[in-house]
Amino acid sequence: MSTDETLRTDVLVIGGGPAGSTAAALLARRGHHVTLAEKDHHPRFHIGESLLPANLPLFEQLGVAEQVRAIGNPKLGAEFVCPWDGRHQDFVFSQAWNKRLSYAYQVRRSQLDEILIRNAQRSGAQVLEGCRVCAAEFLPGRAGVRVQASHEDGRMLRWRARFLVDASGRDTYLARQLGCKRRNPRHDSAALFAHFSGAQRYAGERAGHISIYWFEHGWFWFIPLRDGATSIGAVVWPHYLKTRAVPVPQFFLDTIARCGPLAERLAGATLISEVYATGNYSYSATRCHGDNYVMLGDAYAFIDPVFSSGVLLAMNSAFAGADAVHACLSSPQSAGRQLRRFVRIMRHGPRQFSWFIYRFTQPNMRELFMQSRNTLRMKEAVISLLAGDIFGDTPAGFSLRAFKLLYAASCVLHPRRSIAALRHRRLGARAA
């Protein structure tokens, strides 16, 4: 089936994840006709279940805070574990610079994403699920964009939109079409992940902590969900994933066995989901907007998820992107200013996290994370970063710079392990 009718919309949003649903809701509330095309049906499985405290004000602004609370397992902090010597260090959000950002949630993304897309519908956006965008043609003279999509029932749908919002996630629809997607040369990685039941959990206030385990080929996450399931994932160097000689589920279990403290917590656990594997984990586009389009969240850039920043960066980009799109459509005199602000925000988030991510598996960084001292308020500043408090006016910049200088000094004082870590990183890059 097909139709030759061309539909009209102000804004066509590709993707119904946190970025797309948030942008659609915000733009519809401002009076724009918004159409959201989502290739899947909600609820659907997605990884990235650990939220940050800085997410919570965004949920409040969207009016979904109570719904998120109902599905969330309270997360008061994060634990980092060094399996070689058994040390662990807790980072509790209430010890951050901004004491108001004291908790977050662990959530099933299938539930969270459905809350957000239904909120977009209630806000006035037209939501089409099972609808995959397959072509976008930008018209000359900023005249808009023609978009074509295939619906699961066989229909071909066509729109003439004034603006296109790419929130297609790791599909990176526009970045691929425009040829501006680049693999991150400084941090390539791959991931394996699944859900388990019966994993050993902590009691009391630490029950909802995310646990991060270093191991010889990367790091693991342990995320306890509200319904008793636990999300387990391994982010590894590509060269390690290429050593796989057994089926993916067995390789994943064998990888877990390499990390004693994690294996102990999963000794009585049962695998209850498919084991997923993905490569080309870190990338970015060379630009995040152009004539009549913006890219949001993972459609623009994806960084290693060690600090659980994905949902925050996606939603924050949607708030900034909605401001920019609204200005382009309704207030052209302010469009340039809003687009410049949008670019700053899109670059700022990944840049703030990436400095730590690039160095996270290096022993010098591990040693600093294992320390509990708060000299020059450095620990408070790091916890603020872990809480996602990077877009406001928290004055943690000086302390973060001091931490970076301390790291540099550590590398100078321990040259052998610094050189060994560099060689290991280069081996991973060559194998990617």
Q: What tokens appear for 293 in the block?
A: 């389009």
Q: Are residues 366 and 217 in the same domain?
A: no
The per-residue pLDDT for range 93-127, each reduced to its tens digit, is: 999 999 999 999 999 999 999 999 999 999 999 99
Does residue 281 surpass a pLDDT of 90? no
Range of the domain at 303: 6-65+108-183+284-351
pLDDT band at 372; cut points 50, 70, 90: confident
Q: Are residues 47 and 148 in the same domain?
A: yes
Return phi, psi of residue 59, to 5°. Answer: -65, -40
Q: Are residues 123 and 167 in the same domain?
A: yes
pLDDT of residue 187: 74
Q: Are residues 206 and 332 in the same domain?
A: no
SS3 (DSSP) at 213: strand
How far is the C-alpha of 220 from the C-alpha of 218, rounded, in Å? 7
Q: Are residues 103 and 160 in the same domain?
A: no
Does residue 418 surpass a pLDDT of 80? no
- The number of folded domains in the chain is 3
pLDDT of residue 431: 47
Q: Are residues 99 and 56 in the same domain?
A: no
Instruction: Give the end of a domain, one of 256, 278, 300.
Output: 278
Q: What tokens appear for 325 in the block?
A: 């799109």
Q: Tell me the residue ranges of DSSP E strands in 29-187.
A: 34-38, 73-75, 77-82, 87-92, 104-106, 126-129, 131-138, 145-151, 156-166, 181-183
Does residue 268 surpass a pLDDT of 80? yes
Q: Are residues 77 and 52 in the same domain?
A: no
Q: In this structure, are residues 160 and 152 in contact, taking their beta carbons and an 8 Å threshold?
A: no
Q: Are residues 112 and 226 in the same domain?
A: no
User: What DSSP element (H or E) covers 342?
Assistant: helix 332-359
What are the distances in angstroms from CA 235 to CA 193, 214, 216, 279, 281?
9, 10, 11, 10, 9
- Shortest CA distance to 147 belongs to which of 139, 135, 138? 135
The per-residue pLDDT for range 320-332, each reduced to its tens digit, is: 999 999 999 999 9
Residue 85 forms part of a structural domain = yes
Q: Are residues 43 and 131 in the same domain?
A: yes
Does residue 3 surpass a pLDDT of 80? no
Does residue 1 surpass a pLDDT of 50? no
**pLDDT: which is higher, 347 or 279:** 347
Most confident option among 34-43, 138-147, 297-306: 34-43
Does residue 429 surpass a pLDDT of 70? no
Lowest mean pLDDT among 47-51, 161-165, 236-240: 236-240
Q: CB-based contacts of 245: which residues, under 8 Å, 6+ apart? A: none
Q: In this structure, are residues 232 and 256 in contact, taking their beta carbons and an 8 Å threshold?
A: yes
The proportion of the chain whose per-residue pLDDT surpasses 90, expressed as a percent, equals: 83
Mean pLDDT, range 63-76, rounded to an integer: 98
Residue 193 forms part of a structural domain = yes
Residue 1 forms part of a structural domain = no
pLDDT of residue 373: 85
Instruction: Give the end of a domain, one of 234, 249, 278.
Output: 278
Q: Are residues 25 and 143 in the same domain?
A: yes
The per-residue pLDDT for range 196-249, each reduced to its tens digit, is: 999 999 999 999 999 999 999 999 999 999 999 999 999 998 889 889 999 999
Residue with tokens 């992940």: 193
Mean pLDDT, range 383-402, rounded to an integer: 95
**pLDDT: which is higher, 23 or 371:** 23
Q: Are residues 127 and 25 in the same domain?
A: yes
pLDDT of residue 361: 86
User: According to the 3-state scheme, what is the secondary structure of the chain?
Assistant: CCCCCEEEEEEEEECCCHHHHHHHHHHHHCCCCEEEEECCCCCCCCCCCECCCCHHHHHHHHCCHHHHHHHCEEECEEEEEECCCCEEEEEEHHHCCCCCCCCEEECCHHHHHHHHHHHHHHCCCEEEECEEEEEEEECHHHCCEEEEEEECCCCEEEEEEEEEEECCHHHCHHHHHCCCEEECCCCCCEEEEEEEECCCCCCHHHCCCEEEEEECCEEEEEEECCCCCEEEEEEECHHHHCCCCCCHHHHHHHHHHCCHHHHHHCCCCEECCCCEEECCCCEEECCCEECCEEECHHHCEECCHHHCCHHHHHHHHHHHHHHHHHHHHHCHHHHHHHHHHHHHHHHHHHHHHHHHHHHCCCHHHHHHHCCCCCHHHHHHHHHHHHCCCCCCCCCCHHHHHHHHHHHHHHHHHCHHHHHHHHHHHHHHHHHC
Mean pLDDT, range 409-418, rounded to an integer: 84
Instruction: Give the end of a domain, one of 329, 351, 373.
Output: 351
Residue 89 is part of a domain; what is its CATH number? 3.30.9.100
pLDDT band at 432; cut points 50, 70, 90: very low
Lowest mean pLDDT among 146-150, 356-360, 426-430: 426-430
pLDDT of residue 282: 84
Q: Are residues 167 and 298 in the same domain?
A: yes
Task: For residue 94, give the DSSP letter.
Answer: G
Q: Full-prediction pTM beyond 0.85?
A: yes
The per-residue pLDDT for range 175-188, each reduced to its tens digit, is: 999 999 998 877 77
pLDDT of residue 426: 60
Return phi, psi of residue 128, to 5°. Answer: -115, 110
- Shortest CA distance to 50 belongs to which of 341, 428, 307? 307
SS3 (DSSP) at 99: coil
Residue 117 forms part of a structural domain = yes
Count CB-CB contacts under 10 A for residue 333: 7
The whole-chain average pLDDT of the chain stands at: 93
